[in-house]
Amino acid sequence: METVAEKAAKVKEASAALYTASREAKDALLLNVAKLLDAGRAKVLSENAKDMEGAKTSGLSEVMLDRLLLNDKRLDGMIAGLKDIISLPDPVGEVTETVKRPNGMTVERMRVPLGVIGIIYEARPNVTIDASALALKSGNALLLKGGSEAINSNRKLVEIMKQALNLSGFSENCVEFIDTADRAAVLEMVKQKAYLDVIIPRGGRNLIDFILENSSVPVITHGEGNCHVYVHEDADLKMAEEIVFNAKVQRPSVCNAAEKLLVSSKTAKVFLPVMAERLKAAGVSIKGDEETRMLVKDSAAATEEDWKKEYSCLMIAVKVVSGLDEAIKHINHYGSHHSDAIVTTSKAAGEKFLREVDSAAVFVNASTRFNDGFEFGLGAEMGISTQKLHARGPMGLKELTSLKFVVRGSGQVRK
Amino acid sequence: METVAEKAAKVKEASAALYTASREAKDALLLNVAKLLDAGRAKVLSENAKDMEGAKTSGLSEVMLDRLLLNDKRLDGMIAGLKDIISLPDPVGEVTETVKRPNGMTVERMRVPLGVIGIIYEARPNVTIDASALALKSGNALLLKGGSEAINSNRKLVEIMKQALNLSGFSENCVEFIDTADRAAVLEMVKQKAYLDVIIPRGGRNLIDFILENSSVPVITHGEGNCHVYVHEDADLKMAEEIVFNAKVQRPSVCNAAEKLLVSSKTAKVFLPVMAERLKAAGVSIKGDEETRMLVKDSAAATEEDWKKEYSCLMIAVKVVSGLDEAIKHINHYGSHHSDAIVTTSKAAGEKFLREVDSAAVFVNASTRFNDGFEFGLGAEMGISTQKLHARGPMGLKELTSLKFVVRGSGQVRK
C-alpha cells in the first residue's frame, strides 16, 4: 500500500494544474462532482448504511450517529452546496494592492492558491465533498483523512470526485484519501511539510490538540467557542432578552452559541429574573455567581472551571459585573476569543467593547450566532478559525489563498 | 528563577494595554527607546565587548563575530530604524472591508495586534531592538530569546527597553527576555500556546527546523532562498546581463541573491559566454549542466543536489532549458519559493511566468534582490517569510496584525 508520504507527493505534483486552472475549468469540475453525486445516490447511501451499521454495533453515541448519517436530504444539501460554490467568484488572480516604486517598478500583491491542503476530520462524511469543493474552487489540491467510522462512505465519495476530475481533464491525484483508520496515519500526515502547505483539522479538542502538538505543517485551528453576551447598564432590556435567548437557545450545540451571560450590576435586579424565567422555560439550566443566585432561584453555583467551559448544551453561567471594564476583562481572560457580544444603547460603550475584546468576531446589539461564513456574506465556509494567524473567524474561499508579490520592471537592479 | 511559562504569562497579561494603545503612546515609547539607547551607548558597547571576547575565546567564525559586533555606526542604525518606524502609520484599527448585510447588520474587518509575539534569534543583538520596535508599534508584546553568544548585549538592550516602557507608562513586562543560553528554554518556549500567538524564528536552517518540529504555537518561517533568474529567448541581453550580475554579485550572502541561472537554448550560445566572463571577473565560480559546460570553460558539473542548494556565496549553477515551460517547472520543483525572475521582452511570457511561478516574489525584468520590505515600500521589515500562510514575502507592520470581524447591529437575532 502507498505510504502517506507517497500520497502527499502525488497530490503535490498534481496541484500544479489546479494552481493555474481557469474559473471555467474549476466550475466545470464542481458541476461534474454534483452530477455524479446525484447519479450515484443509491451507491453512496448503501455504503453509508454499512458505516451506520458498523457504528451502531460498536455503540457510537446518538450525536455521532447523526453526524455519520447520509440520506437524500443531506445529499441534496451537498449538491446545493456545490452549486453555491460554482456561483461564487474565483478568488485566484485578484490583485489586492498595487504600488509604483520611485525606481519605476510596480509591485502588486496577487491572490494565488495555497497549493495542497490537508484536511483531517471525524465522523461527518459530507465534509469530504463540502471541504473539497471550497479547496478545489480556490485552486488547491487535497489530501483527506476522514474518521474511521465513515470509511465506506468516504471511499465512495472520493471515488466520485476522482471520476469528476478525470472527466474534467484534471489528474485524479488532485484529491487523495488516506484509506486507513490508523491514528499513526494522522501522525505521518502532519509531518509532510515538503508536500502540504496547510492542515485544517475539523473535529474535537483531542484531535486538534494532537495535531497542534505534532504538526510541522502550518495548522489552521477551529477551536471551541466559550462565547459571551454582556448586557450593559443602559441596554434596551427587551432587545437584550431576545439576543441572549437567541444566542443560547436557537442552536446550543454549535460553537457560536452563547455559554455565558454577563450583566451589569446596575441592571441585574430588573433584568435577570425575567431573563432567567424565559431561559428556564426553554429548558436551560442556569449556574451563577453569588449575586446571580440571589436573584435567580434554583441556580447552581458556577465554579472557576465553569467560566472557562464550552457547554454546547442548554446550560448557561451568569455573572453580575460592575460594568463594561470588568466585562471586557472577564471575556478576554476566560473566553475562547470566538464570538462575544454587548447589548447597549451607548455608542461609546459599544465601540469600546468592539475595540478591546480580542475575539474573532465581536458584536454590538446582535446575536453571537451570526459568526458564520454565510451570515457574514462570504458565500461559503470552511469552519471558523479561532487562531489569529492568516484567517480569523469564518474562512471562505479567500482564506484558502495566499498573496504573492508580483513585480514588473524594465531592467531595474539594486544599488 | 522564573520559568519560561511564568515569563510568557507575564507578557500575556501586560499585552492588554498595548492592544489598545494609541499611536501617540506607542511612538512616544519608541522615541524613549531611541533616547535611552543613545544615552546608554558606552554601557551597551562595553557589554557587547564582553560578548565579543567570549566569542573569540570560544572560536566563533568571522561571519558570526561580525553579526555579534555592535559599534557606534550600528547603534546609529538601530536609532535611525526606531525613528523610521515612528514615522510609519499605525496599522491597528484600520478597517479593510465593510459589508452591509440584508438584515441591516454591518460587518467589518478590523486590524488588531496579534497579541504576544515570541522571537527566537541567534547572534545578532540588533534584532533585540529592531524586531521589538516593529512588534511594539503594531501593538504586540514580546517574549525574546536571543543567542547565547549575545547574552550580555541583549540583557543591556532589554534593560533599556524596560526603562523606556516604564517611562512611557507601560508595564515593563511588555518585553521579557529569556535569560539563559539553554536550548531547553527554546523547547519550553515553543510550547506556550496559552500565552504566545506566534513565534518568529530568525536564524539558520537548524534552528528553524527544530522549532517547526516542536512548536505548538503557530510559526512564521523565514526560510532559505534558492533564487533563479531565467533568461528567455527574446530577452534584451544587455538587460539580462545586468540583472543576473546584480542578483548574484551585489550581496551574495543574503537570501534574495540569485543562486541559479536558467537560459533558453535559443539564446544560450550568444549569451552564456559573455555572461560567464563577467561573472568570473567578479570572482564567481560557475557550475553547469552539460550544455553550459560546452559553452563555459572551467565550469564544474552541477549535480542534482546543486539545483536545490542555497550557496550564499560567489557561486552559481547554470542550466540551459528548452524554454519558458521547462524554466517554470524547474523553478517550482527545485526552488525554495522565495524570489524568482524572468528577463523577457514578451508580455505574454512575462505574465505567464508571474502567474505560474509559485514564489513569495516573482519578477519580470528586475533583480531578485528587490524582495525586501523597504524596496517594496512597506517601510520596515521583520524578515522575509517563505511560508504561504498569513504572510508571504517581506513582513512589515501589517503582517504583525490580525483581522477580526466587527459587527454592528440593532437587535438582530438568527432565525
Interface contact B376-A99, CB threshold 8 A: yes
Which residues partner with B357 through β-bridges? none
Sign of the torsion formed by the C-alpha atoms of B302, B308, B312 and B316: positive
**Residue A380 pLDDT > 90:** no
User: Which of A219, A250, A370 is best to mutate for the B interface (most B CBs within 10 A)?
Assistant: A370
Residue A80, C-alpha cell as written in the block = 446545493
pLDDT of residue B379: 81
Interface contact A219-B220, CB threshold 8 A: no
Interface contact B362-A220, CB threshold 8 A: no
pLDDT of residue A63: 83
Q: For residue B370, list chain A residues with Cβ-Cβ distance below 8 A.
A: 105, 407, 409, 412, 414
Residue B5 near residue B112, CB atoms below 8 Å: no
In whole angstroms, how large is the CA radius of gyration of chain A? 24
d(CA A358, CA A339): 9
Distance of CA A252 to the CA centre of its chain: 16
pLDDT of residue A337: 95
Q: Which domains does chain B have, with CATH numbers?
A: 4-220+395-408 (3.40.605.10), 227-370 (3.40.309.10)
- The one-letter amino acid at A378: L
Interface contact A407-B370, CB threshold 8 A: yes
d(CA B227, CA B196): 32
Among B110, B366, B409, whose Cβ lies nearest the Cβ of A407?
B366
Bridge pairing between strands A393-394 and B361-366: unpaired
pLDDT of residue A383: 86
Interface of A with B in 155-174 (CB under 8 A): none
Q: Cα distance from A405 to chain B (closest Cα, Å)?
A: 4
Torsion on CA atoms A340, A344, A347, A353, rounded to nearest 10? -30
Interface contact A411-B243, CB threshold 8 A: yes
Encode A374-391: b = buried (16+ Cβ within 10 Å), e = exposed.
ebbebbbbbbbbbbbbbb
Q: Cα distance from B111 to chain A (closest Cα, Å)?
A: 10
Interface contact A105-B220, CB threshold 8 A: no
pLDDT of residue B205: 83
**Residue A264 pLDDT > 80:** yes
Largest CA distance in chain A: 78
pLDDT of residue A171: 97
d(CA A199, CA A202): 10
pLDDT of residue A205: 83
Residue A338's nearest CA partner among A302, A374, A303, A388 is: A388
Closest B-chain CA to A110 = B355
Sign of the torsion formed by the C-alpha atoms of A70, A72, A73 and A75: positive
Q: In terms of residues, how long is chain B? A: 415
Interface of A with B in 328-347 (CB under 8 A): 332
Residue A21 near residue A141, CB atoms below 8 Å: no
Question: Residue B119 in 3-state DSSP?
Answer: strand
pLDDT of residue B246: 98
Tell me whether A110 touches chain B (CB under 8 Å): yes
d(CA B132, CA B125): 11
Q: Which residues have C-beta within 8 Å of that of residue B214, sequence separation ≥ 6?
A: B187, B190, B191
Among A377, A389, A405, whose Cβ lies nearest the Cβ of B218?
A389
Digit-by-digit pLDDT tens for chain B (415 residues) are 899 999 999 999 999 999 999 999 999 999 999 999 999 999 999 999 999 999 999 998 888 899 899 999 999 999 999 999 999 999 999 999 999 999 999 999 999 999 999 999 988 899 899 999 999 999 999 999 999 999 999 999 999 999 999 999 999 999 999 988 778 999 999 999 999 999 999 888 888 899 999 999 999 988 889 999 999 999 999 999 999 999 999 999 889 999 999 999 999 999 999 999 999 999 999 999 999 999 998 899 999 999 999 999 999 999 999 999 999 999 999 999 999 999 999 999 999 999 999 999 999 999 999 999 989 988 878 889 988 999 999 999 999 999 999 999 999 999 9
pLDDT of residue A222: 84
Residue A139 near residue A26, CB atoms below 8 Å: yes
In a 10 Å sphere around its CB, with 0-12 CB exposed, 13-18 middle and 19+ buried, how is residue B56 labelled? exposed
Interface contact B404-A360, CB threshold 8 A: yes
Closest B-chain CA to A109 = B361
Among A20, A219, A236, whose Cβ lies nearest the Cβ of B356?
A20
d(CA A222, CA A205): 9
pTM of the full predicted structure? 0.92
Interface contact B362-A408, CB threshold 8 A: no
Q: For residue B197, list chain A residues with Cβ-Cβ distance below 8 A.
A: 387-389
Q: Which residues have C-beta within 8 Å of that of residue A158, sequence separation ≥ 6?
A: A128, A144, A175, A176, A177
User: Which of B20, B23, B105 is best to mutate for the A interface (most A CBs within 10 A)?
Assistant: B105
Condensed to tens digits (0 to 9), the pLDDT of residues A18-66 reads: 999 999 999 999 999 999 999 999 999 999 999 999 999 999 888 889 9
pLDDT of residue B1: 80
Residue B389 near residue B367, CB atoms below 8 Å: no
Residue B343, C-alpha cell as written in the block = 528577463
Residue B324's nearest CA partner among B252, B260, B233 is: B233
Interface contact B414-A369, CB threshold 8 A: yes
pLDDT of residue B204: 81
Among B359, B392, B413, whose Cβ lies nearest the Cβ of A403?
B392
Interface of A with B in 198-217 (CB under 8 A): 198, 212-213, 216
pLDDT of residue B123: 82
Condensed to tens digits (0 to 9), the pLDDT of residues A189-212 reads: 999 999 999 999 988 888 889 999
pLDDT of residue A64: 87
Q: Cα distance from A35 to chain B (closest Cα, Å)?
A: 30
Q: For residue B115, list chain A residues with Cβ-Cβ distance below 8 A.
A: 358, 388
pLDDT of residue B101: 96
Tell me whether A59 touches chain B (CB under 8 Å): no
Closest B-chain CA to A210 = B216
Q: If DSSP states are collapsed to H, E and C, what string results for A116-160?
A: EEEEEECCCCHHHHHHHHHHHHCCCEEEEECCHHHHHHHHHHHHH
Q: Cα distance from A235 to chain B (closest Cα, Å)?
A: 11
d(CA A176, CA A174): 7
Tell me whether A407 touches chain B (CB under 8 Å): yes
Distance of CA A235 to the CA centre of its chain: 31
pLDDT of residue A39: 98
Tell me whether B192 touches chain A (CB under 8 Å): no
pLDDT of residue A223: 80
Which residues partner with A107 through β-bridges? A99, A407
Q: Cα distance from B212 to chain A (closest Cα, Å)?
A: 5
Q: For residue A387, list chain B residues with Cβ-Cβ distance below 8 A.
A: 197, 218
Residue A381, C-alpha cell as written in the block = 465556509
d(CA A252, CA A106): 51
Q: For residue A365, list chain B residues with Cβ-Cβ distance below 8 A.
A: 408-412
pLDDT of residue A235: 98
Among B213, B365, B376, whose Cβ lies nearest the Cβ of A216?
B213
Sign of the torsion formed by the C-alpha atoms of B239, B245, B248 and B250: negative
Among B197, B212, B409, whose Cβ lies nearest the Cβ of A363?
B409
Among B114, B239, B390, whose Cβ lies nearest the Cβ of A411?
B239
What sections of B215-298 are H helices per DSSP? 237-249, 268-281, 290-295
Closest B-chain CA to A363 = B407
d(CA A13, CA B334): 13
Among B20, B370, B402, whose Cβ lies nearest the Cβ of A414?
B370
